[in-house]
Chain A
């Protein structure tokens, strides 16, 4: 059993604990004897109960000693808060979710503490208190690297779905402790000055969809998507595409699934005319059921799928749409 104290940087959304932060807390509990959490730019007291339920004993609420510096996201300032919380808690393990902000802030922390950082960790393989070996996703999640962390503070970000969210055995509300953070003006040079609301249907809808209809090079052209979008609409789902489709400009990038696009985990994924390259697979492999439609019975997407239809998507997809409409009457 580890004797470490872990510090988890929370990324709350709309005043509540986000799923990724809940995963990070659960992960931290498995890796450490005691877990503290850190909240920056939000009210720590509203999160104390939920964080406590997931095993945190203390929630540090960061406040800048001057002004409202944490009202807008500033990666270096957030990192300064993490460093202050490490000192206050005596943590020798710091975790954040493997999100853009989690990775960004911990990279800053790594520089400030002069230590290594492991991104997208899925498990702790061993820990003797001084040296810790972790497994982390590399090559877009298709391989794992065992990495040894030997610095006085081990830094890691937790890959999405690395563990199931699990409440602590004896949950209790965490103690809230204010944390004063002295910032250098340089910590605020890079700061969000404005957030422009996105298109209502950007990648958020794709990531949360229960059904995703995928489309790849096999669609043939930007004009070939009518039947694909119809199928997605009939199933109340979203469209996800391969990189070939976005790089040819047939569909916007926020629809891309894969290593450099979105990671999706729908109940059903229906990839049409997608070969199933590992970089695409990295984004869709957590779909519960995969139904591939492809002319090539040997395509990796077909051999990795649960179900497949072999044939031209321009014939198969309209036939499915018609059958769906017919049964609905």
Chain B
């Protein structure tokens, strides 16, 4: 089965976040970039599915040409034929992104590649709209399950598992389908040396966006005020134990 996996380049914000002067985005000039852990899991599942079914795992992103870094990382992990829909993504909304992905799916179908599954993350690490996957499914008229941590493919039938507070919900649906992936079901692999070599040489298919974006309604971003440092140091090393237990008793949690 041929699989398409969609990833989004986001700033790797481990520490403090700074906004751009106009407040419309994150100042990422000094930051590295990454993709969401959900998308890392989606890439892993795409690669595993392609291998198990004798198909391919194509990786796609909608963004500027900086995103080629994330596409190449996915190729190093086993994806092939990276696709970049080249557009400034800041003003795009989830409906725009879904429409652009759908156009690529249709175009590839005309060329003879039909994706049995399109995988996305459950939510993007930055904008967290929780909807591109569902919108894509409606664009393509395909069934969709969100928050999938694992799935199996048997011919044209997909069995998808979603972890919930009650246990694991099982869905059985026909391909072609759209799944959005939640991290936790698989452990993403590390790139191999041959994988990295392949990634360097991979030719990126660049696609022009097809429609005028409707946008995302963003007025501005704002940061909650940083909490003032209030920490009280109870001590250093093992000798702090009595002070710690005093505190736990005071808080009523050491019975």
Contact = CB atoms under 8 A, between A and B. Distances in A.
A327 B163 CA distance: 41
B234 A194 contact: no
Interface string B156-197: 000000111111111111100000001111011000000000
B168 A310 contact: no
B245 A309 contact: no
Contact of A189 (B122, B174, B231): B174
Contacts of A249: 187
A327 B131 CA distance: 53
B112 interface: no
A235 interface: yes
Contacts of B8: none
A308 B231 contact: yes
Contact of A260 (B36, B234, B245): B36
B245 A327 contact: yes
21 contacts: A104-B146, A118-B217, A142-B224, A190-B173, A198-B165, A234-B254, A246-B184, A267-B251, A278-B13, A278-B16, A289-B251, A302-B231, A304-B229, A306-B232, A308-B233, A308-B234, A309-B235, A315-B237, A320-B244, A320-B245, A323-B241
A139 B147 contact: no
Contacts of B38: 260
Mostly helix, strand, loop or mixed at chain B's interface? Answer: mixed
B125 A107 contact: no
Given A73-B169, A259-B125, A268-B253, A278 B14 contact: yes
A296 B249 CA distance: 26
Interface residues of A, number: 90
Top-9 shortest CB links A-B: A253-B184, A319-B238, A319-B241, A107-B134, A198-B167, A311-B237, A111-B138, A146-B219, A107-B131
A120 B122 CA distance: 14
Contacts of B169: 73, 192, 194-195
Interface residues of B, number: 84
A40 B17 CA distance: 41
A243 B217 CA distance: 32
Contact of A297 (B146, B218, B233): B233
B181 to A, nearest CB: 11
B204 interface: no
Given A111-B134, A259-B125, A196 B172 contact: no
Interface stretch (A1-9, A45-53, A84-92, A147-155): A147-155
Contacts of B221: 138, 143-146
Contacts of A198: 163-168
A157 B146 CA distance: 16
A93 B254 CA distance: 47
B183 A253 contact: yes
Contacts of B143: 189-190
B53 interface: no
Nearest to B145: A190
A276 to B, nearest CB: 9
B44 to A, nearest CB: 11
Interface string A108-139: 10111000111110000000000001010111
